[in-house]
Amino acid sequence: MSATSTASAPGATALPAFRPSMKVPLTLGVLAVIALVFFGLLGPGQTAEMKISDPGDAVAVPALLIPGQVGGIVLGILLLAMAAYSIYLWTRNTRSPRWLPIAFSVVFVFAVLLWIVAGARQPSISLAGLIAGSVTLAVPLVFGSLSGVLCERVGVVNIAIEGQLLGGAFTAALVATVTGSPYVGLLAAAGAGAAVSMVLAVFSIKYLVNQIIVGVVLNVLVSGLTGFLFGTVMAPNKDQFNTPGRLDILPIPLLSDIPIIGPILFKQSVAGYLMYVAVAVVWFGLFKTRWGLRVRAVGEHPQAADTMGINVNATRFWNVTLGGAIAGIGGAVFTLVTIDSFTKEISGGRGFIALAALIFGRWNPIGAFLASLLFGFAYNLQSILGIIGTPVPSQFMAMLPYLVTIFAVAGLVGRSRPPAASGIPYVKG
């Protein structure tokens, strides 16, 4: 049913027959009704307190006090209005603008948050802490999903993000301890991620081995290698090999004192700042430069790219390697920023969440960035939920990113289509 509706869209060439998919308006409408009914009309009666600034901050902002039910109704109506606008556009044969689902999901997430906090045993939460924590948790996800974007855009499926993160985390801890400088560790992590990626590239490009198989196996290999070396080298000699120290937090004066935005944007480690730079650079590179055009051409239609004189397999090789280096930096965040030592399986499946973020973000660096933030938020909320005591079991929050991704690939939330040649080795001829 859903397949035919999307399939007819590209096939229709005559203008009047064009009709955008109604999945987006429909999904928004259903979600808005759910929000209004469950978060609003049936919403909790308590007043939720959302603290915006911490007591120690230079700028003190009073906390937001929102009554659960009223707030839920207001937000529900706001969501309904957005859904109605989307449906209106659909009746006029116009696609909903890009910002609409994003704005919708921000408001929806806020409504969920309000519902959860107002229904908790202790209806108070630090908004600043929640958001700052989400960004911190999202940093490795962003790097991982950027790696995925680069690889898939050039036509190589990267299931090995998990392995790249883990390899980066291990190498960062080891090299930073041995050299005594976390910055050298950060560089080494990039190298380790690139090395993992090169194996992926060699096997999938030179030996034409199925990319998914290589990715899956690489994850196992890196997990085994790091686990083995941790057990034999790191754990017995912790001082010598596993005390990397941390990357300094470098706050930018004045700007870092702005409530909420300050700590997110201007009170980060080098890796945190690098994340913003990387998102911007990858986006600009992919969509505004000659290099990016080539990358996308190779990923969408390698034969055409080859005809135009682009070396398809070399382009793939170097982009996959670059992607691995980026994921490696993300891995370093685990051991140089979040905590200051390596433990077995420290990446704990984050690589797969990064994969989910990349798909949910529709193979776009900025989309992947926003999706990573959302998933980081879900992660953080999950831990906070346990503290404030809510009726929603934390396991369901933890499931959320994965469920959302299944919906995304099944085409229920918008349409996410991978680059056409992603996963297909290119053989000249």
Partner 1 sequence: MTSKHRSDETQPAESTSEVRAADVALDTAGGALAPAIVPVSSQSGDPGHEQDSVIRKIVMGNGFVSVLAVIVALILGGLLIASTDAAVAKTAGYFFARPGDFLSAAWSAMTKSYIALFQGSVFNPRQGLQPLLETMTVATPLICAGLGVALAFRAGLFNIGAQGQIIISATLGAYVGFAWHLPFGLHLLVVVIMGVLGGAAWGALVGVLKARTGAHEVIVTIMLNYVALFLLDFLLNTAAFRRAGDNSPISPRLDDSATYPILIPGSRLHLGFLVAVLLTYGVWWMLNRSTIGFEFRAVGANPIAARTAGVKVSRATILVMALAGALAAFGGVAQVAGTEKVLTGGIAAQIGFDAITVALLGRSTPWGTFFAGLLFGAFRAGAVQMQIQTGTPIDIVLVVQSLIVLFIAAPPLIRSIFRLEPKKKNKKTKAAPKAALAHASGGAK
Binding residues among 315-344 for partner 1 as defined by CB under 8 A: 344
Judged by CB under 8 A, the stretch of 113-121, 269-277, 282-290, 410-418 that binds partner 1 is 410-418
Nearer to partner 1 (CB atom), residue 275 or residue 359: 359
**Shortest Cβ distance from residue 341 to partner 1 (Å)?**
17
Site for partner 1 contains 109 (CB under 8 A): no
Among 19, 95, 267, 301, indicate the residue that binds partner 1 (CB under 8 A).
301
**Which tokens hold the place of 152?**
């898939």
Site for partner 1 contains 198 (CB under 8 A): no
Site for partner 1 contains 409 (CB under 8 A): yes
Judged by CB under 8 A, the stretch of 80-88, 201-209, 238-246, 284-292 that binds partner 1 is 201-209
Compute φ and ψ for 44, nearest 5 degrees.
-70, 150
351 touches 222 (CB < 8 A):
no
182 touches 389 (CB < 8 A):
no
Among 56, 207, 253, 290, indicate the residue that binds partner 1 (CB under 8 A).
207
Among 91, 289, 303, 383, indicate the residue that binds partner 1 (CB under 8 A).
303
Nearer to partner 1 (CB atom), residue 156 or residue 172: 156
CA-to-CA distance for 77 and 73, rounded, in angstroms?
Answer: 6
Residues 156-175 that bind partner 1 (CB under 8 A): 157, 159
CA-to-CA distance for 351 and 163, rounded, in angstroms?
Answer: 7
- Least Cα distance to 190 among 354, 336, 326 occurs for 326
Site for partner 1 contains 420 (CB under 8 A): yes
Question: Residues touching partner 1: how many (CB under 8 A)?
Answer: 71
Which amino acid is residue 4, in one-letter code?
Answer: T
Judged by CB under 8 A, the stretch of 170-178, 220-228, 323-331, 373-381 that binds partner 1 is 220-228
Bridge partners (DSSP) of residue 235 are: none
Site for partner 1 contains 26 (CB under 8 A): no
**Shortest Cβ distance from residue 329 to partner 1 (Å)?**
23
Compute φ and ψ for 252, nearest 5 degrees.
-90, 125
Nearer to partner 1 (CB atom), residue 280 or residue 420: 420
Nearer to partner 1 (CB atom), residue 11 or residue 253: 11
CA-to-CA distance for 420 and 114, rounded, in angstroms?
Answer: 41
Q: β-strands 47-51, 124-126: how paired? A: parallel
Alpha-carbon torsion angle 146, 147, 148, 151, nearest 10:
120
Count the Cβ atoms, other than its own, within 10 Å of residue 379.
22
Here's the x/- map for partner 1, 232-251, by CB under 8 A: it reads as xx------------------
Which amino acid is residue 360, in one-letter code?
Answer: F
Nearer to partner 1 (CB atom), residue 230 or residue 334: 230
Site for partner 1 contains 391 (CB under 8 A): no
**Shortest Cβ distance from residue 46 to partner 1 (Å)?**
25
Alpha-carbon torsion angle 228, 232, 236, 240, nearest 10:
-90
Judged by CB under 8 A, the stretch of 2-10, 52-60, 124-132, 135-143 that binds partner 1 is 2-10
Site for partner 1 contains 280 (CB under 8 A): no
Site for partner 1 contains 354 (CB under 8 A): no
Site for partner 1 contains 392 (CB under 8 A): no
Q: Which helix (H) or strand (E) holds 93?
A: none
Site for partner 1 contains 24 (CB under 8 A): no
Judged by CB under 8 A, the stretch of 90-98, 314-322, 383-391, 396-404 that binds partner 1 is 396-404
CA-to-CA distance for 352 and 358, rounded, in angstroms?
Answer: 10
Residue 60 CA, chain-centre distance (Å), reads: 31
**Which tokens hold the place of 241?**
């090999």
**Which tokens hold the place of 23?**
């999945």
30 touches 53 (CB < 8 A):
no
**Shortest Cβ distance from residue 354 to partner 1 (Å)?**
12
The contacts of residue 260 (CB under 8 Å, 6+ apart) are: 52, 127, 128, 131, 132
Residue 154 C-beta-side C-alpha neighbours within 13 Å: 30
Among 334, 352, 363, 375, indicate the residue that binds partner 1 (CB under 8 A).
352
For the chain, the distance separating the N- and C-terminal CA atoms, rounded to the nearest angstrom, is: 38
Among 6, 122, 289, 383, indicate the residue that binds partner 1 (CB under 8 A).
6
Nearer to partner 1 (CB atom), residue 232 or residue 289: 232
